[in-house]
Structure 1
Amino acid sequence: MSDTVLRLPAELKYADELRYLAERDSGQRPARWQLSPQMVRTFVLGSTPAQKLDREIAQKWYGDPSIAERAIVTLASDRGLLLIGDPGTGKSWMAELLAAAICGDSTYVVQGTAGTTEDQIKYSWNIAMVIAAGQSRDSMIPSPIMTSMQLGAMGRFEELTRCTSDVQDALISILSEKYISIPELRNDNVVFAKQGFNIIATANSRDRGVNDLSSALKRRFNFVHIPVVTNKKQEREIILFRTTELLERQQVRIDVAPTLLDVLLQTFADLREASASASSDDAKLESALSTAEQIGVLEDAVLYSTYFGEQRLTPEILGRSLVGTLVRRRPEDIAVMNKFWHSVVAKHSEKHQGEWRDFMAGGQDAMKVIEG
C-alpha cells in the first residue's frame, strides 16, 4: 500500500511502533484509548533510556514536552482540544499523531474554510435514496465528526476560525451535550457519542479577527498554544526529520552539508528579525517565515539539485530556492528581499566568504529572473 499511496496517515506509517507500544503498555487507559497517556507521549515525543524499551521509538514532534502532555490530558477530559499557533508550527501534525495513537485513525477530519457548512459537521442526505425510499438512517450521510462520535474516536477540525460563526457554533451542542439530533427523523433520531470521543481542533493565530470563536465555544475547549520554534538546534532537527520524510516519497536522497543548513537557519533568523522591526506590512515579506517554509525551501533545493543540478546541494541552488519560495508579491516582496540581500546577506558574505558568497549570488540570480 505504501508504494501506491502518496501520503500514509500516521497510524499506517507508524503501525509497527503503535503495535509495539500497545503490547508493552501496562498503564491505565481512558475508555476506548488504544494506548495509555504515557505511551501516547512516548509515541509523539520518542522513547527515553529510562523506559528500558528494547526498541527505540523515534521522536515525531519537536517542542516543549509539557505542550504535548497538556494536549494528551485534555483529550482524556470532557473538554475539546484547540491547538493554536502561527502557520507552520506543527499543529496539524500534532493533531494527527494524537489521533493515531489514541484511537488508531486520524482520518475523521473536517477541513474548515469560508465555504464549510453545518452539514459537513453534522450530516447530509443521499438525495437519490431519499427520493426512492424517504429519509432514514440508511439515507443519511454522517460527517467525519458524527462518525467519530459513533465509534468513540477522535474527530479533527482543521482551521476552525476559517469557518463562519454559525458553522462554528454547531460544535457547541456536540461538545457539551455529546449528541446530535436529527429532526428529519421521527424515530432513532439522536446520535449519541460513545466513550472515547473528543475533538481536536486547530486554529491559526494569524486568523484572529477573521471569525473569532464565541465565548460559549471557547469555554468548551482547552487552548494549547504551539509556539514558533526559535531554538536553532530544535529547528534543525525538525527540518531534517520532515524534509527526509518528504523526499523519501520521491525516492530521493541527497546529504545536506551541516554548514548549508546553518546558512538556511541563519537566513531565516535574520529575516524574522527584519520582519519584526519592519514599520509596515509592505516593508516585510508576506511569508510567515515558519519552520514549515524552511522545510519547503530545502525540499525544493534538494529536488532541483537531483533533477537539474549536480546530484548535490550547492549554496547557489539553496539561495535560488529560498528567494523563489519566499517572494510572492510583486513588487513588494522583491523590494524587501533585495534590501535584505544587499544588507544582511552581503555582510555574511563579506565576513564568511565561501558558501555565503555563493548563496548570495544564487539569490541575486533568482531575483533578476523574477524581476524580468
Structure 2
Amino acid sequence: MSDMLRAPAETKYADELDYLESVDSGPKPSTWRLSPKMIRTFVLGSEPSDGLERETAQKWFGERSVVERAIVTLASDRGLLLLGDPGTGKSWLAELLAAAVCRNSTQVVQGTAGTTEDHIKYSWNVSMVIAKGQSRASMIPSPIMTAMETGTIGRFEELTRSTSDVQDALISILSEKYVSVPELKGEDGTVFAKPGFAVIATANSRDRGVNDLSSALKRRFNFVQIPVVTDKRSEAEIVRFRTEELLRRHQIELDVPPTLLDVLLRSFEDLRAVATAAGSDDERLESALSTAEQIGVLEDAILHSNFFGERALTAHALGSSLVASLSRRAPEDTSILTKYLANTVHQRSEQEGGEWPQFLAAGLETLKALA
C-alpha cells in the first residue's frame, strides 16, 4: 500500500475482509466471497449483536435499507444503478460492494462524452493484428468484458454522461450476458459471462437530460436512490472519517478541533438554506455544497495549515479555504458569499464569539484578494 497513492478498498481492508470471510457462515451466491449479511457488516460496520470478536468499522454512512437493496440487486440478474446528487458516496459504495463481493473493485469504465463502445466491449492490439491477424490473443478486453470472463463485478461511473450509442451497447450485455465478436469465428466469436458477473453503474441525478437512459436500458437496471445526508451528526461522522484517512495518507499529525468542524458544518447548512430559498441560479452558489465538497474545504485548510501555517488547524485557514473553494463564478458566487459573511457570520461573531470572528476575517480577506 505504501507504493499506492490511493489503494482500492480490497487492498486497504484486506485483513478485515480475510477475517470476515473466515467467520462467515451465512448463505451466499455461488461465487461471492462474503454472504449478503457479512457484506452489509463490512460496509456499515459491526454491532454487538453480530457476535464478532473483531470490530468492523463503518465505511459508508447512509441508510441500511439502501445498502441491503443494493446487495440484493447484485444477487439478481439485473444491473445496479446508484443514483444521487454529487458527493453522496455513490462511487465509494460501489467500490466497497465490489471489494466485498469479489475482491476486485478496479474494473471500471468512466463515462464521458468521449467514451466509445470499445471501452465497454473490446479493442485490438494493432501491432499483433498486423503481425498475426485477429485472434483472442490480439484482443484487448474492456474492464466490463474482463468482469464477464472472470465472473466478477464491472463498474460504470457516470453512466448518463456517455452517449446513447454506448449506453445501448450495455443492453445486450445486461440481458443476454454475452458479447459477440464478429471478427472471430467459432467459439472465439462469443464471450459469455460467467456466474458472478454483475454491473454497478452510478449516475448523477443533476445530470438528467445530459444523455437520458432509454426505456430498454432502464429495464435492465434496478435503481437505488442515494439520498443526500441531512442529519448533522451523520455528516460530521463522514467528514471526520474522510479527514482521518487524509491525515494518515499524508502522515500528518494535526488535530481537527470539534469547534472548527462545527463551524464548517453550520456554514454549509446556512449556504444550503440560501440555495434552497434562491429564486434563480444567479442567487445560489455554483457548488453543489455536498458532503464531498465539505471534505475538500477541510482538506485544503489542513494541508495549508500543515505546510504554510503553524501546523495547527485554525479558523483563519478554514474561512480562507471555504471562500476560495466555493468562489467559482465572478461576480455571482463572490456576491453570495459576501452577503453570507456580512450578515450571518458577522451576527454569529458578535453573539457567539469563539472561532467565528477569525473565520469571518479570513473569509473577507480572501474575498478582497479575489476581487
Q: Give the distance between the partners of 2:181 and 2:272, measured in 1 at CA.
A: 50
Specify the alignment match of 2:323 in structure 1.
323
Classify the secondary structure of the residue corresponding to 2:370.
Answer: helix
Q: CA deviation at 1:214?
A: 0.3
TM-score (norm 1): 0.98
Specify the alignment match of 1:167 in structure 2.
166
Give per-residue Cα distances to partners, 1:20-54, cap 9 Å, x unaligned.
Answer: 00000001110210000010001000000001111
Q: CA deviation at 1:207?
A: 0.3
Q: How many residues align?
A: 370
For the Cα contact (< 8 Å) 2:157–2:201, is it kept in 1?
Answer: yes
Specify the alignment match of 1:42 in structure 2.
41
Moved more, 309-318 or 263-272: 309-318
Specify the alignment match of 2:139 in structure 1.
140
Specify the alignment match of 2:73 in structure 1.
74
Classify the secondary structure of the residue corresponding to 1:132.
Answer: helix
Specify the alignment match of 1:94 in structure 2.
93
Identity over the aligned pairs, expressed in percent? Answer: 68
Is 2:289 aligned against 1:289?
A: yes
Give per-residue Cα distances to partners, 1:111-163, cap 9 Å, x unaligned.
Answer: 00000000000000001111111111011000000000000000000000000
Q: Give the distance between the partners of 2:216 and 2:4, measured in 1 at CA.
A: 40
Q: Give the distance between the partners of 2:47 and 2:57, measured in 1 at CA.
A: 10
Specify the alignment match of 1:235 in structure 2.
235
Alignment of 1:253-292 (within 5 A): 253-292=253-292
Give per-residue Cα distances to partners, 1:312-355, cap 9 Å, x unaligned.
Answer: 11111110011111111122211111111111211211211121
Q: Give the distance between the partners of 1:345 and 1:171, measured in 2 at CA.
A: 50
Classify the secondary structure of the residue corresponding to 1:222.
Answer: strand
For the Cα contact (< 8 Å) 2:26–2:37, is it kept in 1?
Answer: yes
Give per-residue Cα distances to partners, 1:218-270, cap 9 Å, x unaligned.
Answer: 00100001111010000000000011112211111211111111110000000
Specify the alignment match of 2:120 in structure 1.
121
Q: Give the distance between the partners of 1:270 and 1:88, measured in 2 at CA.
A: 18
Give per-residue Cα distances to partners, 1:248-304, cap 9 Å, x unaligned.
Answer: 111112111111111100000000000011111111110000000000111111111
**Structure 1 residue runs without a partner (length 5+):** none
Classify the secondary structure of the residue corresponding to 1:180.
Answer: strand
Q: Give the distance between the partners of 2:81 and 2:225, measured in 1 at CA.
A: 8
Specify the alignment match of 1:299 in structure 2.
299
Q: Give the distance between the partners of 2:239 and 2:245, measured in 1 at CA.
A: 10
One-letter code aligned to 1:260: L
One-letter code aligned to 2:133: G
Q: Give the distance between the partners of 1:347 and 1:280, measured in 2 at CA.
A: 26
Q: Give the distance between the partners of 1:351 and 1:70, measured in 2 at CA.
A: 46
Classify the secondary structure of the residue corresponding to 1:219.
Answer: helix
One-letter code aligned to 1:269: E
Specify the alignment match of 1:338 in structure 2.
338
Classify the secondary structure of the residue corresponding to 1:354.
Answer: coil
For the Cα contact (< 8 Å) 2:124–2:139, is it kept in 1?
Answer: yes
Superposition misfits of 4+ residues, deviation over 2 angstroms: none
Specify the alignment match of 1:211 in structure 2.
211
Classify the secondary structure of the residue corresponding to 1:23.
Answer: helix
Specify the alignment match of 2:308 in structure 1.
308
Q: CA RMSD in A?
A: 0.7
One-letter code aligned to 1:319: G
Specify the alignment match of 1:196 in structure 2.
196
One-letter code aligned to 1:338: T
Classify the secondary structure of the residue corresponding to 2:149.
Answer: helix
Moved more, 219-228 or 245-254: 245-254
One-letter code aligned to 1:227: P
Q: CA deviation at 1:310?
A: 1.2
Specify the alignment match of 2:357 in structure 1.
357
Q: Give the distance between the partners of 2:299 and 2:238, measured in 1 at CA.
A: 13
Q: Give the distance between the partners of 2:342 and 2:209, measured in 1 at CA.
A: 36
One-letter code aligned to 1:115: G
For the Cα contact (< 8 Å) 2:247–2:254, is it kept in 1?
Answer: no
Q: Give the distance between the partners of 2:348 and 2:164, measured in 1 at CA.
A: 48
Classify the secondary structure of the residue corresponding to 1:157.
Answer: strand
Classify the secondary structure of the residue corresponding to 1:89.
Answer: coil
Q: Give the distance between the partners of 1:105 and 1:164, measured in 2 at CA.
A: 27
